[in-house]
Amino acid sequence: LHPAWLSVRLAHTAVSNPRLAAQPPLLVLHGLFGMARNWRSVAKSLARNHSPIICADLRNHGDSPHHQDMSMTAMVGDVRQFIEQQLDATPVHLLGHSLGGKVAMRTALLHPQLVRSLIVVDASPQPSGSKPGWFRSIMELMLSLDLSRPPDPSLAGTKKAYSEFLAAEVPEKAIREFLLTNLMEEPDCPGKFRWRINLPALLTHIEELMGSELNSCQAVYDGPTVFIGGSKSPYIDPKDASIPRLFPRSEIVFVEGAGHWVHADRPVEFCSKVTQFLRNCAQTAAAPGGS
């Protein structure tokens, strides 16, 4: 377990719907290189039927503090502290995408009293199919950029130049644009840029993050669980025996036509599946003898 004093206070944004009675919060954890603000439009859509929706920045991402420890243990500790301190230990519906899904699974297994239900988006108990070397080379390229001498005085111009620089390693424009959402202008210093993400810490821990698996885990999370995969993504295997072993009340569903970024590729279908799952959880909890 991670000592609480080593945890960082996670930055977060919340979307509430005043027309709905307050429900148990849905806490959203983004993936590697992501941030809470990437989930803003999805959170607004989900808030039509569920409120509140809280999107947190993992450590070393978004507006959360930087720390040299980027271990799974540390990230689970942060989420535990966030629920206990920011949400008064109210059990949450916990949703995690990719790396956030791995953190969410561990949080549910280690601290089930804090997790009312679990939604894992395009992640699984198995190691990521991605090669750590690819992420390593991308981060080394990003670190090689001299931010003290930007190619353009504007953020947009600098992003355009850096996108062209990254193109040889990252041919997909959408992924380059996603990576470069992490380039920001210093608020008090126009024309000066920095990375939101803590690239050195991510680089140090990338093998652990990609290789993280739960095959030897003896804990079981018996709350309602859904794995939502993209039909074009290889990350969730319906035959993976570890899923029903670790999460006996789980189901696996796929969003047709979606890749790894399920929520961005097919937002309407994704929100529909999440909303239906939350509705089922509420009905089960309200039923006689429901949990």
Per-residue pLDDT reduced to its tens digit, 203-234 = 999 999 988 889 889 999 999 999 999 999 99
Q: Is residue 210 part of a domain?
A: no
- 86 and 224 part of one domain: yes
Indicate the pLDDT class of residue 13, thresholds 50, 70 and 90: very high
- 118 and 176 part of one domain: no
**CATH code assigned at 33:** 3.40.50.1820
168 burial level (CB within 10 Å; 0-12, 13-18, 19+): exposed
Q: What domain count does the chain have?
A: 2
Q: Is residue 185 part of a domain?
A: yes
**Residue ranges of E strands in the chain:** 12-15, 26-29, 53-56, 92-97, 115-121, 183-185, 193-195, 225-230, 250-255
Tens digits of residue pLDDT in 92-140: 999 999 999 999 999 999 999 999 999 999 999 999 877 778 899 999 9
Question: Among residues 205, 228, 256, which one ends one of the domains?
Answer: 205
pLDDT for 3 equals 61
- 176 and 94 part of one domain: no
What is the rounded distance in angstroms from the CA atom of residue 229 to the CA atom of residue 154? 38
- 108 and 192 part of one domain: no
- Beta carbons within 8 Å of 40's beta carbon, 6+ residues apart: 13, 15, 55
What is the rounded distance in angstroms from the CA atom of residue 107 to the CA atom of residue 75? 9
Question: Among residues 205, 229, 253, which one ends one of the domains?
Answer: 205
3-state helix, strand, coil in the chain (%, to 5): 40, 15, 45
E strand or H helix at 73, and its extent?
A: helix 72-81
- 117 and 10 part of one domain: yes
- 115 and 52 part of one domain: yes
Question: Among residues 151, 180, 205, which one ends one of the domains?
Answer: 205
Expressed in angstroms, the distance from the first to the final Cα of the chain is 26
Instruction: For residue 236, give the nearest of 78, 129, 81, 99 by alpha carbon.
Output: 129
pLDDT exceeds cutoff 60 at 146: yes
Q: What is each CA distance from 259 to 129, 138, 221, in whole angstroms?
A: 14, 20, 27
| DSSP 8-state code for residue 266 | S
pLDDT for 59 equals 98
pLDDT for 286 equals 76
Please state whether the peptide bond connecting residue 127 to the residue before it is cis, i.e. omega within 30 degrees of 0: no
pLDDT for 129 equals 72
By the 8 A CB rule, do 70 and 204 touch?
A: yes
Q: Is residue 152 part of a domain?
A: yes
Instruction: For residue 79, give the nearest of 1, 143, 149 by alpha carbon.
Output: 1
Indicate the pLDDT class of residue 2, thresholds 50, 70 and 90: low
Range of the domain at 178: 132-205
What is the rounded distance in angstroms from the CA atom of residue 176 to the CA atom of residue 163? 6
Does 131 or 253 have the greater pLDDT score?
253
- 110 and 9 part of one domain: yes
Using a pLDDT cut of 70, give the percent of the chain over it.
Answer: 97
- Beta carbons within 8 Å of 94's beta carbon, 6+ residues apart: 27, 29, 79, 104, 107, 108, 115, 116, 117, 118, 119
- 139 and 249 part of one domain: no
- 84 and 110 part of one domain: yes
